[in-house]
Chains A and B, each alone.
Chain A
């Protein structure tokens, strides 16, 4: 038997045996599932679109505020429902247990997206946006790196009014003021857009999450 042949036989045997692995030990099945998933495209991947019928169905099935969110860089869309409020912070969850946390529609945290926003200090920016005033403010967001150390991204942001527009989605329709927010520091530069209704709620937005996720497009389906 040649070396290549031997190697192939061994590799095939390893794959078969790995699939056959079983037991109660946590992590073992997880590893196997991940290996299998990586060879079966489509399943477990985030590549997913949401139809109007699905949105209507979700609005009927759940009570309370709901969102439609899209990550263009990952080509994925999801309907989220609110599962918790803590003071002004509202947390919304997708069907596959990823969450977004927002204050008045402005993103302050994510969980389960990878390179998550752990938390944010952005009161000044929120104030400008929700009162629909132009101005300059600093904002701080904290992330974890690959070694699980916290690091802070701080940017200076320039908020401006950019006209008005009617917005409607799900059961929400509002006439809004469009606000833009250009943020930058030495390494990063991004531009958020907010559609703010008369009550100071951001009913629709395009917001920067971070280099890995890019922008998130968020829209209230129900308040």
Chain B
């Protein structure tokens, strides 16, 4: 009964979304405030019914209702409760429900925190999101209903959640990634609302910026969590594989990064308008592309759901309709988007344009490498794959260029900056980072390394130029404390995010350059040296878990003869599915990770295993964490809230007929 209720509430949500996607938009077009006013209550209803459906599916998992096909396919009575509750997103249908639920959550957030914006604008934003939800819900009800029953008889037990997914990473990665992904739908809706209303100005950019920043920050952390999870779970010792399904989030992220910078120009200078709107469309397209690739089965990947082509075509339909519609609207409204082209060849606008170009080119090249095999197959019928060397060859130099521009950007001025001024400002930072860049690797490792020197120099360039900029900003304050207090939150956000780039860059490059790994066969009591560490295999013993059995090895790690710690890698076999799985053992550290994955037993108690020493690998995620906090800090800047007060005052003090529609939202505050 309850699953049917879930199904029913999805249908109700679809009906409400159909209303949401039409009435408020109509109201906004005709100036009908009643219709516009429906947007918020409708969103609340949509959220309640999708949330109810989500809760009911979760409940079916919690009580092992194996009469529901989706539950039966993705759970098992032995599965620990935390995985039963999260197995909801362990497969295609449920994860799509999560996706839709996230969108409903974002819509509700917009409905609640949009009092600063005119009602007509909010109605348009929510209306566009409602239309999107109609597409998603129809897709779910038509092709992927998670509440379908297993007929004629319920199964005795479930198939089990894919053993590779039974991990903490599975609990946190998909929801954060989806939340970030779907967040860009909100930014997309903002862009569409601006195009519909024809009002695309600095105020619009100011409304849009916090949302773009938050979506970007969450996507950043979502991608980082996926990378961290893959690193310790999949056990190939890497943190990024250029997997076809890793790439769309990255593409979205790159467009999103370009977007948050371009929005700054639109807000401060009122230009780059059409470019900003285009980036909003592209970032959204990236997120849809990600769904399409995972769910259509077009590409080979560890992420791919078992799929059928009908779904692929349906998602392609949503993609074509929404992006096509957006581009059509964009073309129709293009004359409105013209900004005055007035800035010098050396100016902050120009540097941000360079930033945008580099980010867009890198996104495009990742896109090309991801989809090329598909296109190639369609044309020649040959199957090919594009390896990581392609992506690295393109991506690494582009990012190096980006970092060079990053150092100059914050110090440059709007409109026009003199080259002399910039070189005076930055000469010391450039010199210091160059010299230290050459010296540091030599001091630490005792050997020259071009790669490490470039890395260190680029990372230090970000740090030193950032410090110089901060010093300039505080130059005429009485004390450092007073200076620090005077800087706005968004400035701290920018600095923190840029510092994150330096940390991420250092981690990514140094772990690639200096990692060591060795696959060996070790008998009991045998040991092997790797780097400055000695790993001794002390034997393996059987273990039993709630839903698995396995073997656990003990590896003693020593450095200079001194005992560091013991590592316990495991080999598991999950009882329900019979799937084998490796659980590696990691000694995580700020400067380096040590980790061991267990292979198989080869007679006489000897085991094959791979041992890794990975310097600086934690910096990859530390850097993304800083970037995420930076994005959130910037979104929390009080000037986005201050606008509300001034708008409210303006609405109260000058109620003119022309602004009455805008004013209503203001008065309600």
A, B bound: no
B residues with a Cβ closer than 8 A to A are none
